[in-house]
């Protein structure tokens, strides 16, 4: 003992100093924190895909109001109409288009702090077997692989900055899958898994990844749904009935600003969560999933979609 301390602390051999790992970890965390604070002192740059309408457009407006320098994307670019932020041309299914859009953003701003992966589409209510494998590939290429492409394109730049946020717009259907939207639900379930894994991988590099899970929102999303490409007569009645159920739900849905508020929260908070629900219905379904018996949720799903009602003209 020297001065009341173990001799090992006076040996000068840092490799056997038991405090060294703690000090090294603290220094790394401090380094990331300083980089993050330096980045926040600047006007942060946000890129929102699918920003010409709906949740993407609302998110762009909210981020702009929160002080971000916002760029949106659309397949038609600036031709998609007037917005308070510039729109870059981007097709999330095309590797070259993704690379070109990110290069253009970096040329203009030199950095990217927030990526909101919002671009996607759905399929009108139909049975899972009514979509071909090719249609399934098309859905995943946009809804899931589009997120993978954009994330891979921005991660190296965020890593060099020592900070960044990737916010993926998922769906409550990614954790509470409903029938007759099986492929859409599956694509959003993939987003859930990818988000959780990616956040673990990047957290120590100063980058956080979150997914936002809305339910029905009052947008033009449903109007842009594609029809199943292999329809079967066996499902004609249920398709017609579910189209009415979904139309009613959309008429009563909340505004996309509800989701946009959560986007801003995930972008600004110092300790973002991996998963956020957005809106009343999504919150209710998430609560039931977490705390109620599985049979209760099963009954809620079937009753809300009137799946066990008697067939039309059955009697």
Query: Which DSSP letter does residue 119 get?
Result: -
Residues 6+ apart with CB under 8 A from 152: none
CA 270 – CA 280 distance, rounded (Å) = 25
φ/ψ of 209, rounded to 5, equals -130, 130
Q: Tell me which of 71, 180, 184, 194 is the catalytic residue.
A: 184
> Cα 113 from chain centroid?
15
Q: How far apart are CA 215 and CA 115, in angstroms?
A: 21
Antiparallel, parallel or unpaired: β 87-89 and 114-117: unpaired
Beta-carbon count within 10 A of 22 CB? 10
Q: What span, in angstroms and rounded, lies between the C-alpha atoms of 195 and 75?
A: 24
Identify the DSSP state of 175. T
User: Would residue 184 show up in a list of annotated catalytic residues for this protein?
Assistant: yes
Positions annotated as catalytic residues are 184
């Amino acid at each position: 003992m020297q001065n009341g301390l173990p001799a090992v602390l006076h040996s000068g051999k840092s490799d056997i100093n038991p405090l060294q790992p703690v000090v090294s970890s603290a220094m790394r965390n401090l380094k990331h924190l300083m980089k993050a604070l330096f980045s926040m002192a600047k006007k942060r740059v946000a890129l929102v895909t699918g920003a010409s309408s709906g949740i993407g457009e609302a998110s762009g407006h909210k981020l702009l109001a929160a002080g971000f320098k916002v760029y949106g994307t659309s397949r038609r670019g600036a031709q998609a109409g007037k917005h308070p932020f510039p729109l870059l041309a981007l097709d999330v299914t095309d590797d070259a288009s993704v690379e070109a859009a990110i290069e253009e953003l970096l040329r203009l701003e030199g950095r990217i702090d927030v990526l909101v992966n919002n671009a996607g589409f759905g399929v009108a209510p139909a049975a899972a077997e009514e979509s071909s494998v090719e249609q399934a590939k098309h859905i995943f290429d946009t809804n899931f692989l589009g997120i993978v492409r954009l994330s891979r394109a921005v991660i190296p730049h965020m890593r060099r900055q020592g900070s960044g946020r990737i916010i993926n717009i998922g769906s409550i259907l990614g954790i509470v899958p409903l029938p007759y939207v099986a492929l859409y639900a599956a694509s959003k379930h993939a987003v859930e898994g990818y988000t959780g894994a990616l956040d673990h991988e990047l957290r120590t590099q100063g980058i956080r990844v979150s997914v936002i899970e809305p339910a029905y929102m009052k947008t033009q999303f449903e109007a842009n749904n594609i029809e199943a490409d292999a329809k079967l007569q066996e499902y004609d009645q249920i398709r017609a009935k579910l189209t009415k159920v979904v139309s009613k739900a959309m008429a009563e849905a909340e505004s996309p600003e509800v989701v946009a508020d959560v986007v801003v929260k995930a972008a600004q908070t110092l300790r973002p969560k991996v998963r956020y629900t957005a809106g009343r219905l999504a919150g209710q379904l998430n609560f039931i999933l977490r705390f109620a018996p599985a049979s209760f949720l099963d009954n809620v799903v079937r009753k809300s979609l009137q799946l066990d009602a008697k067939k039309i003209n059955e009697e």
